[in-house]
A and B are shown apart, each in its own frame.
Chain A
């Protein structure tokens, strides 16, 4: 089974500053990688995903992530955050097999300070 580590449980950042949310996973075999965002009292919404190809992936709301196979990392970045980016962010790894099981990190709470 995979394991996913999100190194920071809480990240406070000032509005318009850049942010990086870190994610590492356990296996070096081929995997698919995802970042989801959860706003208060809502389900998870897909931000971006890496399946293959370019290691730099662009998603919604100005977010991007870089897949680094040698470091088994998939860090999420945004050059300038807004108040509306305040939310919980989850990194996930999927194991391409029947059932498509996902493994989630414990989440990073991003708080944007005005």
Chain B
């Protein structure tokens, strides 16, 4: 069974803090993704990576950065957290480039105060 794990289920941070969200997958997938999910907006892609040390901006990259030093791990970084980054963050992984299934982690619910 594919397993995608995220380092925290719930996180509370203060405005201005640097926040790290970690995602690990165990299926040797080339592609990894970070989304944020907000009510009424569905899932919006923040960043994705199709290889180690490679990254591509998604639809809403502003205020975020990513790191992929190893194939199985993809980190999302909020350089200076703001209240409008309060959201559910979902990590996913999948094989590429055929467009096959993405497998999701359980999500991290981040509250920025």
Interface residues of A (CB under 8 A from B): 9, 31-32, 34, 36, 41-46, 49, 51, 90, 92, 94-102, 104-107
Q: List 9 A-B contacts (CB under 8 A).
A: A41-B107, A42-B107, A43-B104, A46-B103, A92-B102, A96-B98, A99-B50, A100-B50, A107-B42
Do A49 and B43 contact each other (CB < 8 Å), given the known contacts A98-B96, A99-B50, A101-B48? Answer: no
Band of interface residues on B: 20 to 34
Interface residues of B (CB under 8 A from A): 4, 9, 31, 33, 35, 40-45, 48, 50, 56, 58, 90, 92, 94-107, 109
Contact A45 B40 (CB under 8 A): no
Which residue of B is nearest A102, CB measured?
Answer: B102
List, in ascending order, chain B residues with CB within 8 A of A94's CB: 99-100, 102
Which residue of A is nearest B105, CB measured?
Answer: A43
Contact A100 B107 (CB under 8 A): no
Do A99 and B96 contact each other (CB < 8 Å), given the known contacts A42-B107, A105-B42? Answer: yes
Contact B99 A96 (CB under 8 A): yes
List, in ascending order, chain B residues with CB within 8 A of A97's CB: 97, 99
Do A90 and B98 contact each other (CB < 8 Å), given the known contacts A43-B90, A44-B104, A99-B31? Answer: no
Known: A32-B99, A43-B106. 9 other contacts (CB 8 A): A32-B100, A43-B104, A43-B107, A44-B104, A90-B43, A94-B99, A100-B94, A100-B100, A106-B41
